[in-house]
A and B are shown apart, each in its own frame.
Chain A
Amino acid sequence: MNKRVVLLWSAAILAYAFLYAPLAIVVVYSFNDSRLNAEWVGFTLSWYQKLFHNEKMLHAAWNSLLIGITASAVSTILGTMAGYAMYRFRTRLLPVLILAPIAIPEILMGVSLLIFFVLLNISLGMVSIVLSHIAFCIGFVAIVVRSRLAGMDESLTEAARDLGATPWTAFRLVTLPLIMPGVVAGALMAFTLSIDDFVITFFTAGVGSTTLPLQIYTMVKIAVTPEVNAVSTLLMTLTLALILIASRLAPGSLRTQ
C-alpha cells in the first residue's frame, strides 16, 4: 500500500466520521441516565418511557403520520400521472412545474403558501399542511416514476395494444405492474419527505397542527432534554427502515436524489 492511498483513506475515514459521529452521539445519549448531554452515567430506557407519556409528542407524531399518509397517497397518484405524462407526451409546462419546487429555495415555497392560504381564508392547520406537502412531493414521485418508465420495454405496451387492449387496459394490466416498484419507491419517498419536512410545515402550520419536526424544534429552542434524543433515534430508525424498503423495491431510484 503506498503513501497516497493511506492518505486518501485517512481523509475519507475522517469524512465518514464527521458524517456519522453526530448521529451516533444522539443515539448514545438517548440511552444515557442523565439529564445532561455530557458524561455517560448509565444505561436507561426512561427517556423512551417519558416520550410515550408525553401528550404533546404523541399528538405531534399522530399529526405527522396522518399528514404523511394523506400527502403521500395523493402525491403518489398525481406524481405517477405526471411522470407518465412526461414520458409519453410532449409536455412543456409540466417538467418546469415539476422541477421548480425542487430547485427554488424552500423558504420561498413556505412563505408564498403562507400568503396564499391567508389571502384565501384557508385556516392554517392540517389541511394547509397536507396541501403544501402534496405540492412539493409530486415532483419527487414524478422523477422516480419517470426514470422507471425510461427503463421499460416499450414493445410490451405496444403488444397489448395490438392485441386489442384499450389504452387504459394496457396501462392497468401491463405498464402499471411494470412500473409498480417505482411507484412504491416514490410513495415511500414522499412519505419520508412529508414526515421530515420542517421549513414548509413551519410556515403553513397553525395552532393544534404541530408535527413531529415542529415539536422537536420547539423543544430544542426551549431546552435540550434527552427526550429529544429518544424521539430522534426513533425517527432515524423509521426513516432507515423506509429507505431500505424503497431501495429494495427500486434499486437505483434513490440515486436520482
Chain B
Amino acid sequence: MAAQQNRLHKWLISGPPLAYLIVFFAIPVLIMVLASFRNPGEFGGLAPLLNDESGSREIDLTTESYGRFFGDFLYTELFLKSLAYAGVTTLACLLIAYPLAMLIARSSKRHRDLLVLLVILPFWSNFLIRVYAWMIILGPQSVFVSALNHIVGWFGLAPLTLLYTPFAVIIGLVYVHLPFMVLPLYANLEKHDPALLDAAQDLGANAWRRFWRVTFPLSLPGVYAGAALVFIPALGIFAIPDILGGTEGIMIGNVIKQQFLDTRDWPFGSVLSMVLTVLAIVLAGAAAWIAKRART
C-alpha cells in the first residue's frame, strides 16, 4: 500500500517535467536524427515522409546526405578547421587561466570568493554584447587598432585588419569561454596540499621544477575538465564567427545555420548537426575517460 502510494507520488511529481522534456527535447532530437536520413523537399525543408508518387506507399529513407558529407572533402575540411579553432582557443584559455586559477587558489580564503565571482560576473552579461564589444575593439575605427598600426608602421609593414578574420574569431571564442577554464582549474588547484610543495623544496627542487613535477601533474584532471568545457562548446558555436569572422572565419555552426535558414536543405543540415553532436559526445566521453584514468 505504502509502496504503491510512493509510486503514485513519484509519477505525479516526476511525470510533468519528464513529459515536457520528452515532447520538447527528446522527440525533436529524434526527429532530427530521422531527418538526416530523408530527402530534401522540393521547396526546402523535408520531402513528404510517404512517397506515393510511384503509387507504392513506401517510407522514403536515404543515406544520400551522409554520402554527400563524406564524399565532399570540403565539409571534412570545415570540421577540421573548426576543430583547429577550438583547439587554439582551448590552448589560449589554458595559458590565460592557469596563472589566474593558481593565484585564486593560493590567496586567502577571504579573497577567494570575490576573485572567483569576478571571473564569473562577465559571463552573466549577454553573450552577444560580449562578442559585440570585440567588434568595437578590433574594428577599423578603434583606438586600439590605430595604435597597433602605428607601431606596425614603424617596422614598415602594411596596416593590419583585425575584424572579420580568423584571429577575431579566436579572440571572441577565448573571451567567451575563459571562465569555463578558470573554474575547474581553480577547483582542482585549491585542493592541493601545500605540504607537497614544501617537501619538494626541502628536497632541493627549485620553483620551476616544483611546478612541473608537483603542481602541474596534480592539476591534470582540472586541465582536462576545463579543456572539455571550452573545446566542446567552442566547436559548435555560430554567433561568434557570424559576427566577427567575415567570410574567411566560418565554422561548422555557420554552415548548419545556412543549411536550415538559407539553403533550406534540412536533411543535410541535420547530417552536419549529427556529426557535430557525435563528435561532441565522443570528445566528452574521451575527456571523462582520461580524467578517470588520471585519478587512479
A residues bordering B, Cβ < 8 Å? Answer: 4, 7-9, 11-12, 15-16, 18-23, 25-26, 29, 36-39, 78-79, 81-82, 84-86, 88-89, 91, 93-94, 97-98, 100-101, 103-109, 111-116, 118-119, 131-132, 134-135, 138, 142, 167, 192, 196, 198-199, 202-203, 213, 216-217, 220-221, 224, 228, 232, 235-236, 239-240, 243, 254-255, 257
Whether A111 contacts B132 by the Cβ 8 Å rule is no
| Alpha-carbon distance between A9 and B124 when the two chains are bound, in angstroms | 24
Interface residues of B in 244-262 (CB under 8 A from A): 253, 256-257, 260-261
Contacts of B212 in A (CB 8 A): none
Whether B21 contacts A97 by the Cβ 8 Å rule is yes
| Alpha-carbon distance between A29 and B266 when the two chains are bound, in angstroms | 41
Distance in Å from the Cβ of B54 to the closest Cβ of chain A? 23
| Alpha-carbon distance between A198 and B131 when the two chains are bound, in angstroms | 12
B29 in contact (CB, < 8 A): yes
| Alpha-carbon distance between A15 and B120 when the two chains are bound, in angstroms | 13
Identify the closest chain A residue to B18 (Cβ).
A94
Whether B139 contacts A224 by the Cβ 8 Å rule is yes
Whether B143 contacts A39 by the Cβ 8 Å rule is yes
Distance in Å from the Cβ of B33 to the closest Cβ of chain A? 9
Q: Which listed residue, B9, B102, B129, B261, touches A23 by the CB 8 Å rule?
A: B129
Identify the closest chain A residue to B7 (Cβ).
A89
| Alpha-carbon distance between A93 and B20 when the two chains are bound, in angstroms | 13
Number of B interface residues, CB 8 Å?
79
| Alpha-carbon distance between A4 and B102 when the two chains are bound, in angstroms | 11
The 7 closest A-B pairs by CB, nearest first: A105-B236, A22-B133, A11-B99, A85-B14, A116-B28, A82-B17, A112-B28
Whether A217 contacts B128 by the Cβ 8 Å rule is yes
Distance in Å from the Cβ of B127 to the closest Cβ of chain A? 6
Q: Which listed residue, B126, B276, B280, touches A232 by the CB 8 Å rule?
A: B126
Contacts of A103 in B (CB 8 A): 284
Whether A236 contacts B126 by the Cβ 8 Å rule is yes
Contacts of A236 in B (CB 8 A): 125-126, 129
Determine chain B's interface SS by DSSP, over half rule.
Answer: helix
Whether A105 contacts B26 by the Cβ 8 Å rule is no
Whether B17 contacts A111 by the Cβ 8 Å rule is no
Identify the closest chain A residue to B118 (Cβ).
A16
Identify the closest chain A residue to B30 (Cβ).
A112
Distance in Å from the Cβ of B171 to the closest Cβ of chain A? 10
Please name 16 pairs of A and B residues whose Cβ atoms are closer than 8 Å in the assembled complex, sorted by A: A23-B122, A37-B139, A81-B14, A85-B13, A105-B235, A108-B277, A111-B273, A115-B35, A115-B266, A118-B45, A232-B125, A232-B132, A236-B125, A236-B129, A239-B126, A240-B121
| Alpha-carbon distance between A196 and B133 when the two chains are bound, in angstroms | 16
* A104-B280, A254-B120 known; A132-B24 Cβ under 8 A: yes
- Supply 5 further A-B pairs (C-beta < 8 A) apart from A23-B133, A105-B253, A236-B126: A37-B136, A84-B13, A94-B14, A101-B25, A111-B273
B residues bordering A, Cβ < 8 Å? Answer: 6, 9-10, 13-14, 16-18, 20-22, 24-29, 31-32, 35, 45-46, 96-97, 99-100, 102-104, 106, 116, 118-130, 132-137, 139, 141-143, 175, 178, 207, 232-233, 235-239, 243, 253, 256-257, 260-261, 266, 269-270, 273, 276-277, 280-281, 284
Determine chain A's interface SS by DSSP, over half rule.
Answer: helix
* A111-B270, A196-B126 known; A36-B21 Cβ under 8 A: no
Whether B142 contacts A37 by the Cβ 8 Å rule is yes
Whether A228 contacts B18 by the Cβ 8 Å rule is no
Distance in Å from the Cβ of B147 to the closest Cβ of chain A? 12
| Alpha-carbon distance between A119 and B142 when the two chains are bound, in angstroms | 46
* A79-B17, A213-B126 known; A104-B99 Cβ under 8 A: no
* A25-B136, A105-B280 known; A12-B128 Cβ under 8 A: no
Identify the closest chain A residue to B102 (Cβ).
A8
Whether B103 contacts A91 by the Cβ 8 Å rule is no
| Alpha-carbon distance between A29 and B207 when the two chains are bound, in angstroms | 44
| Alpha-carbon distance between A220 and B132 when the two chains are bound, in angstroms | 7
* A15-B99, A119-B31 known; A134-B24 Cβ under 8 A: yes
Whether B132 contacts A78 by the Cβ 8 Å rule is no
Whether B97 contacts A15 by the Cβ 8 Å rule is yes
Whether A38 contacts B141 by the Cβ 8 Å rule is yes
Whether A235 contacts B137 by the Cβ 8 Å rule is no
Contacts of B207 in A (CB 8 A): 4
Whether B100 contacts A78 by the Cβ 8 Å rule is no
Contacts of A228 in B (CB 8 A): 132
